[in-house]
Amino acid sequence: MRSVKSLLAAGAASLISSMAFAADMPIAAPPPMYAPPAPPADFGGWYLRGDIGFSNQSAKSIRSTNDALYANNVTFSQTNGFDTGGIFDVGVGYRVNNWFRADVTGQYRGRTNLHGLDLATFPVGGGLIASGSDNYGGSKSEWLFLANAYVDLGTWWCVTPFIGAGVGASRVTISNFTDSGLNNAHVGPAPTFTPSVGGPPVASFYSASTASQWNFAWALHTGLAYKVNPNLTLELAYSYVNLGDGITGPAYAFDGSGGGHPFKVKDITSHDVKLGVRWNLDSPPAYMPPPPLVTKG
């Protein structure tokens, strides 16, 4: 009987010792009921874009395609320019990552007035020269289609500077073109002019029909982008655009004379300022935590 009591006492002591040791051990944390998903990788996505702005255009020259008109000039100078025009474009693009994106755009460049003035002197025989002037007028518009690539240069306080370039095609349309000329025949011996010498001035007037021309076009871009939210980005951008040449229809005097030579507007370039928006089509949905666990009992 005493041995049984001893055995029970030893078992009780062992059990108490085990419980005390277990109380001293750290308690493992219960497994989580859910794990929040990792933030989505910023790998880019599709976007739509739209821009409005204005142009500041110029051209290398506005000249008749009849080179004989300029062959005997003693002196020749020209000034030309364009009024400011509106710009409207839309496009679709893909942002590859935080640093690189690309898009294609279609742009309408609104009709603007063009104007030019030629001043020339030319020989008329007998050691005399004449002076002449030509005033050009008309309007110009374009369609511009570009494939563009951009490098984003990092983001500070939601603002991202960027640079880019584009290549494509332009369709330049010249309309309502007129050329009003005035030649002062036999105005004096070269190189001194004496307006009292010679006959009365001779006036001329030519007009040309509307014509369009397709050209290779390219552009350089830079600007600032502001990310309003994951879906919407605003842009303030500058672009230098080379649109190629424009050409008129055949030019004739009011009586049908004049040879029907078109005029060419050569090397049209533009400094554009635009305000645009980009709308991201692939933004991930906002994270929503799972509902709380419901227990019964």
pLDDT of residue 28: 52
Q: Which helix (H) or strand (E) holds 10?
A: helix 2-24
The pLDDT tens digits of the residues spanning 258-278 come to 788 999 999 999 999 999 999
Tell me the three state secondary structure of residue 233.
strand
Kindly state the average pLDDT of the residues 134-144: 95
DSSP three-state, residue 69:
helix
Report pLDDT for 69: 85
Res 257: pLDDT: 76
Structure confidence at residue 185 as a pLDDT band (50, 70, 90): low
256 against 57, higher pLDDT: 57
Q: Does residue 61 surpass a pLDDT of 70? A: yes
Structure tokens at 216: 């290779």
pLDDT digits (tens, 9 = 90+) for 6-30: 544 555 455 455 555 554 555 555 5
Residue 191 has pLDDT above 70, yes or no: no
Residue 194 pLDDT grade (very low, low, confident, very high; cuts 50, 70, 90): very low
Q: Indicate whether 136 pLDDT > 90.
A: yes
**Model pLDDT, residue 131:** 86
Q: Which two tokens stand for residue 73?
A: 């000039």
- 185 or 184, higher pLDDT: 184
* Tens digit of each residue's pLDDT (9 = 90 or more) over 81-111: 999 999 999 999 999 999 999 999 999 999 9
Higher pLDDT, 293 or 268: 268
Name the band, by pLDDT with cuts 50, 70 and 90, for residue 182: confident
- Answer for the pair 105, 114: CB distance below 8 angstroms, yes or no: no
Closest CA to 183 of 131, 128, 257: 131
Integer CA distances (angstroms), 132 to 128, 199, 266, in order = 14, 14, 22
| Residue 214 to residue 207: CA distance in whole angstroms | 22
Q: Are 124 and 185 within 8 A, CB to CB?
A: yes
Indicate the CATH number of 45-117+137-172+213-249+263-280 among 3.40.50.620, 3.30.413.10, 2.40.160.20, 1.10.10.10: 2.40.160.20
Task: Give the C-alpha separation, 297 to 256, whole Å.
Answer: 103
Please tell me which residue, 197 or 135, carries the higher pLDDT value: 135
3-state SS class at 14: helix
Sign of torsion over alpha carbons 268, 271, 275, 278: positive
Determine what percent of the chain is predicted with pLDDT higher than 90. 60
Element at 232 (helix H, strand E): strand 232-247
pLDDT in the model for residue 259: 80
